Structure 1
Amino acid sequence: MDFDFTDDQEQLRDAVRKWVDKAYDFERRRGIAKAGGFSREAYGQLAELGLCGLYIPEANEGLGMGPVEGMVVMEELGRGIVAEPFVQTLVAGAVLSGYAPEAVKTAWLPKIASGEALVVLASQERAARYQLDVCEAKASSALAGWTLSATKTVVPAGDQADAFIVPALAGGKIALFLVERSAAGVTTRGYGTQDGGRAADVVLKDAPATLITLDGLAALEHAVDIGIAATCAEAVGVMDKTLAITVEYMNTRKQFGVVISSFQALRHRVADMKMQLELARSMSYYASLKLNAPAPERRAAMARAKYQLGNSMRFVGQQAVQLHGGIGVTDEYIVSHYFKKLTQMEMSFGDTLHHLGEVSARMQDTAGVFA
């Protein structure tokens, strides 16, 4: 099998890397974080590169690309710890393309692809604890259409988004709806997150909504799996850059008259960081390649990948801080921001312990060891 990236994929990687290096340096990123954690200007620049239409069909003014291209883009955005919630753009593009009726696609997909509209997934509830089938939000149907009542928490850029994809109970089953932030009955409370990004609590009180699909649980699971694969790829980029920063620091920091990179014990710790990075990279590839698999196989693959990525993120982040010493936890130094990003991503779309439970629950009698 050929595991090399195609020329088009390498060109896509190069374009995103150049944008991150030139237009999204550490100082700009710090400024965005201090200003609230979201920049519409920076998000618009991603759209100008065509990235917002990555998972949107060409018929709806997108690029019509697939999971591998998404993985390539997310790795490069991870290297720059880009605060804008691009994972959500991939999720929204894929979910609306795959599940929404034609009228919704026509109305929203071109706007998402152009960057005119930011649509995010608003699925978390306080009582759910990462369980997708736990939902207290309720939808009501009338002659005028659907209305939703719900409280969703930690919605990425929730007070900046133009619309939300919201799961809610309709006739006792979870359905998926689109709700505009400007609609009546929608209120948001925004706040900064620990990684320098932005989130919000979103409250809906009889807010008008557009039905995406009545088979909401399957669509929601697919949406979260897309988010997991994208987050895994982003984490690989964050860890790759974290390791590079750490090695550079060790090659310049001196102790007892020599650079600390000459100390064998510290070299072994860097080797362990590299091993965890490569384990994470292989599982990120695995997750992206399984995105189009049947649902049971896909769900199991995402849980395995997120579990390994969680362990790797924690190890690489902690080792980077320890190898830097006291400077590693200061806000002025770049590695502390990478550490906070890794910490935040470890809890996104289900933390490590949650996915360990998911892996265990999906094991067969043989646990995959025997035929």
Structure 2
Amino acid sequence: MDFDFSDNQEQLRDAVRKWVDRGYSFERYRAGVAAGGFARQAWSELAGLGLTALTVPEEYGGLGQGAIDAMVVAEELGRGLVLEPIAQAFIASAVLTRSAPAAVQSAWLPRVASGQALVVLAQQERKARYHLDVCEAKAALAQSGYLLSAMKSMVPAGDQADACIVPAQLAGKIALFLVERTASGLSTQGYITQDGSRAAELRLTHAPATLITTDGLAALELALDTGIAATCAEAVGVMDKTLAATVAYMNQRRQFGVPIANFQALRHRVADMKMHMELARSMSYYASLKLGAPAAERRAAMARAKVQLGQSMRFVGQQAVQLHGGIGVTDEYIVSHYFKKLTQLEIRFGDTLHHLGEVSGRMQDTAGVFA
């Protein structure tokens, strides 16, 4: 099996990396956090690179690329601690392309592709604890369409988004709806998350909504799996830069007259960090490759990938802080921000413990070991 990236994918990687290196410095990241954790200007720049259009079908103004291209982009943006939630563009594209009626696709996919519309997933509820089938939001049929009543938490850039994809109960089963920011009965409360990005609490009170699909659970599972694959790739980028910063510090920091990189015990710890990062990278590839698999196989693959990524993120982040010492937790030094980003990514779309339970629940009698 050929795991080499195509020439187009390498060119995409190079373009995104150059933008991150030249246009999204650590100073810009910190300014973005201070300004609220989301900037339309940065989102427009991502759209200008074609990243919001990456997975949108060509007939709607997109580039029609696949999961591996999205993985390449997410990894490179992770290297730069980019705050803007590009994964949400991939999620919106996947859900609308596969599940929405033609009229909804025509109305929203071109706007997603151009970056004019930020469409985000608002699925998390306080009692759900990452379980997608736990949904207290209610939808009711009205003369002009549907009305939603719901409380959703941790919605990425929820108070800045142009529309939200919201699961709600309809006739005893979960359906998926699109709610515009201008809808009556919608209110948001925005805040900064641990890693500096923006999220919001979303309240809907008889808010007008457009039906995407009545098979909401299947579409929601696809949305989460798309987000997990992007999160895994982003985490690999963050870990890559975390390791590089740690090695550079160890070559600079001196004790007993020599760089601390000369101490064998510390070199072993760096080797363990590298091993965890490469395990994470391989599982990120696995997750992206499995996005096109049947639902049951895809869901199992995402849970496995998130378990390994969660373990690797925790290990690499903690070791980096310990090897830096006190400077590793100061706000002025970038490694503390890498650590916070890894901590946040570990719980995004389900933490390690949740996905370990998912892996366990999907095991067969043989646990995949014997025929």
Global fold match (TM > 0.5): yes
Where on the TM-score scale, by shorter chain, does this alignment land: which range? over 0.9
Matched, 1:215 2:215: yes
Partner in structure 2 of residue 230 of structure 1: 230
2:65 and 2:52 map into 1 onto residues whose CA distance is 11
Amino acid at match of 1:359: V
In the alignment, the residues of structure 2 paired with residue 146 and residue 53 of structure 1 have an alpha-carbon distance, to the nearest angstrom, of: 29
Other-structure match for 1:295:
295
Instruction: Report the counterpart of residue 188 of structure 1 in structure 2.
Output: 188
Alpha-carbon distance in structure 1 between the residues aligned to 2:50 and 2:85:
16
The within-5 A match list for 1:134-283 is: 134-283=134-283
> Who is 2:325 aligned against?
325
Post-superposition CA distance 1:52-98 (Å, at most 9, x none): 01111000000100000000000100000111111111101111111
Q: Which residue identity is paired with 1:365?
A: D
Name segments (4+ residues, structure 1) moved above 3 Å.
Answer: none
Partner of 2:63: 63
The offset of 1:337, in angstroms, is 0.3
How far apart, in 1, do the equivalents of 2:54 and 2:91 lie? 10
Cα deviations across residues 173-192 of structure 1 (Å, max 9, x unaligned)?
Answer: 00000000111000000000
SS of the aligned residue for 1:152 comes to strand
Q: Which amino acid aligns with 2:39?
A: S
Q: Where does residue 84 of structure 1 map in the other structure?
A: 84
Question: How far apart are the structure 2 equivalents of 1:251 and 1:203?
Answer: 51
**Structure 1 CA distance for aligned equivalents of residues 99 and 251 of structure 2:** 51
Deviation at 1:103, TM superposition (A): 0.4
For residues 247 and 346 of structure 2, what CA distance do their matches in structure 1 show?
23
Q: Which amino acid aligns with 1:283?
A: M
Q: Which runs of 5+ in 2 are unaligned?
A: none
Displacement of 1:2: 1.1
**Cα distance, 1:235 vs structure 2:** 0.3
1:363 pairs with 2:359: no
What residue is the counterpart of 1:27 in the other structure? 27
**Percent identity over the alignment?**
74
Amino acid at match of 2:173: K
TM-score normalized by structure 1?
A: 1.00
- Measured after TM superposition, the shift of residue 142 of structure 1 is 1.8
- The alignment yields a C-alpha RMSD, in angstroms, of 0.4
**Counterparts of 1:121 and 1:262, CA distance in 2:** 48
Which TM-score applies when normalising by structure 2? 1.00
Structure 1, gaps ≥5 residues long: none
| Structure 2 residue matching 1:62: 3-state secondary structure | coil
Number of equivalenced pairs: 371
Partner Cα distance (2:142, 2:258) in 1: 75
Query: How many angstroms does 1:164 deviate by?
Result: 0.1
